[in-house]
Amino acid sequence: MNAMAWVRGETRPAAALVAAVALGLGLIIIRFLPPLLSAAMGSLGPITQAVAMTVGLFGPMIAAAAIWSAVTNVSVKALGAAPGRMAVAGAAFGIGGVLICVLYAAVANTLVHTPGTPDIGLLLLMTPLTLLQCVVEEVYFRGWIQPVLTRAFGPVAAIAATSLAFAALHFAAEVAQTPLSLLNVALAGLLFGLLAWRTGGLMAPMVAHCAWNWTESLGLGLFPNPGVDPTALVDLDLTGSALWGGSAEGLNASLAVTFVLLAFCVPLALWKSSLPKPATV
């Protein structure tokens, strides 16, 4: 097998190598670029720093996905069938999932509201940055890595492996550090992977990812936890046991998220249908 066949991931070993290199590149970008960017932006204001950091981290990731996906013959631009309906479905998964978790917290009396007035300017700034991050992660994992692995190993192994890689990236970024939060990130990756496979494209998982993150952080101020978040429309905090969100990792380390994600993933995994094949360029 020649070198280009390895680069394209034409066999199982080659596909595994492509996925490993993609994960390694993502880990290097997320783990080692932030201090370099911070040093280069020393005299910039906090808003400029936030924009530069987000673009500096996720710009290289989406560029790598776009370039190598063309070589591996998978399309990172495939939105799937009926993208409008898939966007609505994705929003329902994302917003609904967070609201169900919040409803549990309210019933369990672990939800605290911090009164305050949101900074609309900061909210408008953080919204596109949050959406950019989510879109790039979906392009990178469900648009590039998962289709390459699916072609070689089938959907079950591909979705599982991509979900674990997704959790590994969040661990490297120090976003998920506890076993429960890592499990929840892996389950979120499983949900997004199932949505991508079941719909044949990225619209549903991208919107679900964006809707979940935006609702959790900018809509309800649940991340970080606790504290006053001036960018949130409503600033909520979780208290009590760490297993129910009362830790610094908040909702992401909550059993409520585990239950909700499992409730979403199991029907999608068991749903009997004629599955579409991943799109190719």
pLDDT of 132 above 50: yes
Distance CA 164, CA 123 (A): 31
Does residue 99 sit within a domain? yes
Residue that has been written with the tokens 């890592």 in this structure: 182
Predicted confidence band of residue 137 (pLDDT cuts 50, 70, 90): very high
Which pLDDT does position 10 carry in this prediction? 80
The winner for highest mean pLDDT among 31-35, 159-163, 223-227, 244-248 is 159-163
pLDDT of 260 above 60: yes
Look at the chain and report how many structural domains it folds into: 1
**3-state secondary structure string across the chain:** CCHHHHHHCCCHHHHHHHHHHHHHHHHHHHHHHHHHHHHHCCCCCHHHHHHHHHHHHHHHHHHHHHHHHHHHCCCCCCCCCCHHHHHHHHHHHHHHHHHHHHHHHHHCCCEEECCCCCCHHHHHHHHHHHHHHHHHHHHHHHHHHHHHHHHHHCHHHHHHHHHHHHHHHHHHCCCCCCHHHHHHHHHHHHHHHHHHHHHCCCHHHHHHHHHHHHHHHHHCCCCCCCCCCCCCCCCEEECCCCCECCCCCHHHHEHHHHHHHHHHHHHHHHCCCCCCCCCCC
Distance CA 137, CA 135 (A): 5
- Mean pLDDT, residues 187-207: 96
Does residue 26 sit within a domain? no
Does residue 276 sit within a domain? no
Which pLDDT does position 70 carry in this prediction? 84
Predicted confidence band of residue 273 (pLDDT cuts 50, 70, 90): low
Residue at 17: amino acid letter: L
Does residue 39 sit within a domain? no
Residue at 134: amino acid letter: C
Does residue 64 sit within a domain? no
Which pLDDT does position 274 carry in this prediction? 46
- Mean pLDDT, residues 119-143: 94
Nearest to 205 by CA among 76, 30, 57: 76
pLDDT of 7 above 80: no
Does residue 145 sit within a domain? yes
- Mean pLDDT, residues 82-86: 93
Predicted confidence band of residue 264 (pLDDT cuts 50, 70, 90): very high
Predicted confidence band of residue 46 (pLDDT cuts 50, 70, 90): confident
Which pLDDT does position 279 carry in this prediction? 45
On the 0-12 / 13-18 / 19+ scale of CB atoms within 10 A, 248 is: middle
Range of the domain at 187: 77-270
Does residue 97 sit within a domain? yes
pLDDT of 237 above 70: yes
Q: Are 1 and 11 in contact (CB under 8 A)?
A: yes
Predicted confidence band of residue 16 (pLDDT cuts 50, 70, 90): very high
Of 68-72, 110-114, 123-127, 144-148, which gets the smallest average pLDDT?
A: 68-72
pLDDT of 281 above 60: no
pLDDT of 223 above 90: no
Q: How many residues does the chain have?
A: 281
What does pLDDT average to over the chain?
90
pLDDT of 51 above 80: yes
Distance CA 61, CA 136 (A): 7
Does residue 242 sit within a domain? yes
Query: Whole-model pTM?
Result: 0.93
pLDDT of 5 above 50: yes
Q: Are 134 and 210 in contact (CB under 8 A)?
A: yes
Interaxial angle between packed helices 203-213 and 179-199, expressed in degrees from 0 to 180 and rounded to the nearest 10: 150
pLDDT of 138 above 80: yes
